[in-house]
């Protein structure tokens, strides 16, 4: 899908920094224009309120590690962060509990199955598998520090806000809409309880998880949050060390293998960047040491990933030299 789409784009080798400002502006505008008329994909409706999104909304932002920000299209529209929150909750919990606990207690391997799979857990002795699928994300949110779930929720909101460099707020309508229809997440949380994988009330876990998914962000916020992971855990806008550099590294490794669910292998093969998607149509793709892309376009493919955002990332990873695996020969570089 992507290769054919970007055949005429020269693959730039991954270099130390994103290209100069003018070039970035030009390339991002080109990425926006190329796919603005594409109509593939369906807007999610299993959370009823998400179906109200306009399929034409389309924003792209890039924030680099020096804090420079570039945006085109609907970069100021706020939407619910959904599963993209899982990446940053993993980072916050990993910061508290450490690499080894996340590895042993949650897991770091891809399920090869959809994000809301029950079977993945059943096939793996009740393991939540990884923090990017719903089972693992619920188990990870349960580990957020706090004496009560109200305190845990406040720590989630503050933690994600530190990544964004501004105070993120709950979209109450999205939260209510999902709480009325999230029977499957409630079942997954009960299953986690039955396997003794969570220590707090399963319905309380679903509540804080649904709140975290309902935080409102823009594509620019996603780019800042991603750029914090690209910058050794330091938010390039506020200068705050949000998580340690080793936690940022661990988060990106997990995103590379699990960020796009059962499509993660194809994604890495085509785009070559750690990334995370969400069902409202958001996406973040991170170039370690360089910066991050934040994208928004509601129509999704069958795995729940934004179609235009994926296409734009395929174009941008080539044109901006972001693909982690793209090198050019040492001899030819010497000339
Ligand atoms: O739990 C859910 O189903 C949603 N709150 C989030 C799912 C999601 O974003 C999947 N991503 N593509």
Residue 27 has pLDDT above 90, yes or no: yes
Residue 96 has pLDDT above 60, yes or no: yes
Question: In what order do the strands lie in the sheet containing 291-296?
Answer: 69-73, 59-64, 291-296, 282-287, 275-277
Using the Cα atoms of residue 115, residue 118, residue 121 and residue 127 in order, give the sign of their dihedral: positive
* pLDDT of the residue at 335: 57
The CATH classification of domain 83-213, taken from the options 3.20.20.70, 3.40.50.2000, 3.50.50.60, 3.40.710.10: 3.40.710.10
User: What tens digit of pLDDT does each residue of 31-79 get?
Assistant: 999 999 999 999 999 999 999 999 999 999 999 999 999 999 999 999 9
Domain boundaries, the chain: 2-79+218-319, 83-213
Task: Using most ligand atoms within 8 A of CB, pick from 133, 185, 186, 278 the residue to mutate for ligand 1.
Answer: 278
Radius of gyration of the chain (CA): 19
Q: Place 333 in a pLDDT band, splitting at 50, 70 and 90.
A: low
Question: Do 2-79+218-319 and 83-213 agree at the fold level?
Answer: yes
Joined tokens for residue 170: 């709950």
d(CA 69, CA 61): 7
Task: Using most ligand atoms within 8 A of CB, pick from 130, 213, 280 the residue to mutate for ligand 1.
Answer: 213
Joined tokens for residue 151: 């305190």
d(CA 63, CA 284): 11
**pTM of the predicted structure, to 2 decimals:** 0.96
CATH architecture of 2-79+218-319: 3-Layer(aba) Sandwich (3.40)
Q: How many Å lie between the centroid of ligand 1 and the Cα of residue 19?
A: 33
* pLDDT of the residue at 2: 76
Mean pLDDT confidence for 86-109: 97
* pLDDT of the residue at 156: 98
Share of the chain above pLDDT 70, in %: 99
| Mean pLDDT for all residues in the chain | 95
């Amino acid at each position: 899908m992507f290769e054919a789409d970007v055949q005429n784009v020269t693959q730039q080798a991954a270099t130390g920094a994103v290209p100069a400002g003018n070039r970035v502006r030009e390339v991002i505008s080109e990425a926006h224009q190329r796919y603005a008329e594409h109509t593939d994909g369906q807007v999610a409706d299993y959370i009823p309120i998400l179906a109200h999104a306009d399929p034409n909304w389309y924003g792209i932002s890039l924030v680099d590690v020096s804090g420079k920000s570039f945006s085109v299209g609907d970069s100021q529209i706020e939407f619910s962060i959904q599963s993209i929150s899982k990446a940053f909750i993993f980072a916050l919990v990993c910061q508290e509990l450490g690499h080894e606990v996340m590895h042993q207690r949650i897991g770091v391997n891809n399920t090869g199955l959809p994000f809301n799979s029950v079977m993945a857990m059943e096939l793996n002795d009740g393991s939540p598998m990884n923090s990017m699928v719903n089972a693992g994300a619920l188990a990870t949110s349960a580990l957020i520090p706090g004496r009560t779930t109200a305190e845990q929720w406040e720590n989630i909101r503050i933690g994600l806000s530190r990544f964004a460099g501004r105070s993120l707020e709950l979209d109450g309508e999205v939260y209510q809409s999902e709480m009325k229809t999230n029977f499957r997440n409630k079942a997954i949380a009960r299953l986690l309880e039955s396997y003794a994988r969570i220590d707090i009330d399963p319905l309380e876990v679903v509540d804080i998880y649904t709140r975290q998914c309902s935080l409102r962000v823009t594509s620019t916020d996603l780019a800042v949050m991603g750029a914090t992971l690209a910058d050794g855990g330091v938010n390039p806008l506020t200068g705050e060390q949000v998580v340690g550099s080793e936690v940022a590294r661990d988060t990106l490794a997990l995103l590379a293998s699990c960020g796009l669910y059962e499509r993660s292998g194809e994604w890495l093969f085509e785009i070559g960047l750690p990334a995370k998607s969400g069902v409202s149509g958001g996406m973040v793709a991170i170039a370690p040491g360089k910066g991050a892309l934040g994208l928004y376009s509601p129509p999704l493919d069958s795995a729940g990933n934004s179609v235009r955002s994926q296409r734009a990332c395929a174009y941008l990873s080539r044109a901006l030299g972001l693909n982690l695996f793209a090198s050019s020969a040492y001899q030819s570089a010497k000339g």
